Amino acid sequence: MEQGHVVSQVQENGIGIIEFGHPSSNALPGTILNKLANTITELSQSEQCKVIMLKSSGDRAFCAGASFDELLSIKDLDEGKVFFSGFAKVINACRKSTKLIVARVQGKAVGGGVGIAASADYAFATKHAAVKLSELAIGIGPFVVGPAVERKMGLAAMSELAINATEWRDASWAQQKGLFTDVSESAEEMDKKIQELLLKLSNSNPEAMSNLKKIFWSGTEHWDQLLMDRAEISGRLVLSEFTSHAIQAFKKK
């Protein structure tokens, strides 16, 4: 658990639950990213699973994005591309899933965390779920998560987050832009709404939901290559002296 975790279960009613977590505000090192992508794919292929709920552990941050320690340890382009391809794998696993994915966003989401929320088909949040794409502030850019965020929120909102990379946008703003479908005052209120929707979906026609999913993600068939190309851009930029100094300065804040 100290290095992070991904756990899953499928309840008797067909509701699949995936939880990821990491001691550093649910940051995402490469091992967690790969396991998360594989777990989403596994539940998507399960005949017992009818709908997936994606959540993170704890009651504070939803996801702090990339692991700064791992970013600083990258030594060459291949390592960089492999690391950022982890985010691509998670997004593509959500995209290719035959199951509808409901996200539970209990707190702040940064960078890759925003990308994961955007990759869900339906996202619940609390009023504490502020969002930020901080990549430009550390010398990179939201290249891998950008297509998922743009698809969900539109180019204008994604550009606002990407350019003004140090400013938080609150949950109400994120709901207005389409990232969150519903924002609650508390986690308890949010969880009640999530359970109600999950139960409805678990009793819905699996074939109908699968076909809806295909329609929702129509036009993204080229993302396997697109996101790998974007991972290469980030992998190259993370090697720069500028980025190294920027990440180290960010860690000290």
With 0-12 CB in 10 A as exposed, 13-18 as middle and 19+ as buried, what is 173?
A: middle
Residue 232 placed within a domain: no
Indicate yes or no: pTM above 0.85: yes
Residue 208, in any domain of the structure? no
Q: Could you tell me if residue 126 is inside a domain?
A: yes
Distances in Å between the alpha carbon of 130 and those of 47, 94, 184? 35, 22, 13
Q: How many domains does the chain have?
A: 1
- Domain of residue 48, residue span: 5-202
Both tokens of 167, joined, read 């400013």
Domain membership of residue 240 (yes or no) is no
Q: What's the pLDDT score for residue 247?
A: 87
Q: Is residue 233 part of a domain?
A: no
Rg (CA), the chain: 17
Instruction: Specify if 214 maps to a domain.
Output: no
Q: In whole angstroms, what is the distance from residue 50 CA to residue 15 CA?
A: 6
Residue 109 lies in a domain: yes
Is residue 63 domain-resident?
yes
DSSP of 117-152, one letter per residue? HHHSSEEEEETT--EE--GGGGT--STTTHHHHHHH
Low-confidence ranges of the chain (pLDDT < 70): 1-2, 253
State the CATH number of the domain containing residue 52: 3.90.226.10
Q: What pLDDT does residue 1 have?
A: 46
